[in-house]
Amino acid sequence: MNFSENENQKMIAQMIRDFGAKEITPFRKEWDDQSHFPKPLFKKLGELGLMGVLIPTEYGGSGFGYFEYVTAIVELSKLDPSIGLSMAAHNSLCTNHIFMFGNEEQKRKYIPKLASCEWLGAWGLTEPNTGSDAGNMKTVAIKDGDHYVLNGAKNFITHGASGDVAVVIARTGEVGDSHGMTAFVIERGTPGFEGGRKEDKLGMRASETAEMIFTDCRVHESQVLGEVGDGFIQSMKVLDGGRISIAALSLGIAEGALEASIAYSKERHQFNKPISSFQGISFKLADMATQVEASKLLIYKACDLKNRGEKVTLAGAQAKLYASEVCVSVSNEAVQIFGGYGFTKDYPVEKFYRDSKLCTIGEGTSEIQKLVISREILK
């Protein structure tokens, strides 16, 4: 496995840094304070090829692999984790689900618009009472002629109110039956499909999280993705790759917090010395840097497996579990290194700290990752 940064990764990283200096960094505090979702920004990211990173060029995507994809998420997340989160959710969940399981007609219709971000994507699995327990979902789709009628609600959905197209998993069979759920692709404006309450969150405040509500929403059978009853199975495969996205998001937060801490420790003087010269600080930085590097290696291993088309369930879960817990730990230590200033919004680490916690929850909690890992190693 060669994890050396390739030329594409270097190009993507520099492109995002240049773009972010003008389009993200000057506005991130305003977006965070106001919980504002900057949807027009993602059109610009689409023009840069960042909203269809993994999609082949024949469908309007960039045609890159997972190493380039991880680099893009990391660099965006170092600027503003909220933007990294929205970009990752659009790519790995909605767009990827259609690409993996849609028929050719569906791919031709939706993927180019998603890859350019002419349309922003959402993905609906979680419900108010079924997070990790998705098999007991209450949103149902009843067959009525050549249509399905959907009723129910999804919550904690990235772009739930602003997304132009959503992949939605609904129950078409018995409760608890892993083959009793079906995936549908539904366009905004379909009667009976509405955005609901927007969440007021601790962190990731510039990434929209909202409900999707379905009230007698009629969806033509041509909008079914794959086979009827395969929605849950499809979702688990989509989440395998999605965990790499959240691991990359975690890595970006941790790298951002570490870089800020190193710079501050050299500038901040106490007792006539930079605080980096004190062992209490330098040892913190050593631990943080080692944990970040270990996260990167786990993520790159998962990327290598994914690029080679091999099973990534175990590696993806391990990368997501470790990287997400590390980003919380590193962000916490960053606030400590900054001291009182770390508790203010004048410096970036308090935002990394708030944003980091989502990574241990989204796309499968740390506890669910341990369940996945233990099942895989005990087979």
DSSP letters of 64-130? --HHHHHHHHHHHHHH-HHHHHHHHHIIIIIIHHHHHH--HHHHHHHHHHHHTTSS-EEEE--BTTB
How far apart are alpha carbons 211 and 200 in whole angstroms?
Answer: 12
Residue closest to 323 by CA, chosen among 275, 251, 258? 251
Side-chain half-sphere CA neighbours of 322 within 13 A: 20
Tokens linked to 189: 């404006």
Strand ranges for the chain from DSSP E: 121-124, 140-144, 147-158, 165-171, 181-187, 193-198, 209-220, 224-225, 269-270, 273-274
- Give the Cα separation of 240 and 305 in Å (integer): 12
Q: Which residue is catalytic, options 5, 30, 363, 376?
A: 363
Residue 6 DSSP label:
P
> Is-contact 242 265, C-beta < 8 A?
no
Maximal C-alpha separation, the chain = 79
CA distance 258 to 334: 7
d(CA 360, CA 244): 13
Residues 6+ apart with CB under 8 A from 119: 110, 113, 164, 165
Residue 289 and residue 254: Cα distance in Å, rounded?
9
d(C-alpha 76, C-alpha 61), whole Å: 18
Is 363 known to be catalytic?
Answer: yes
Residues annotated as catalytic are 363
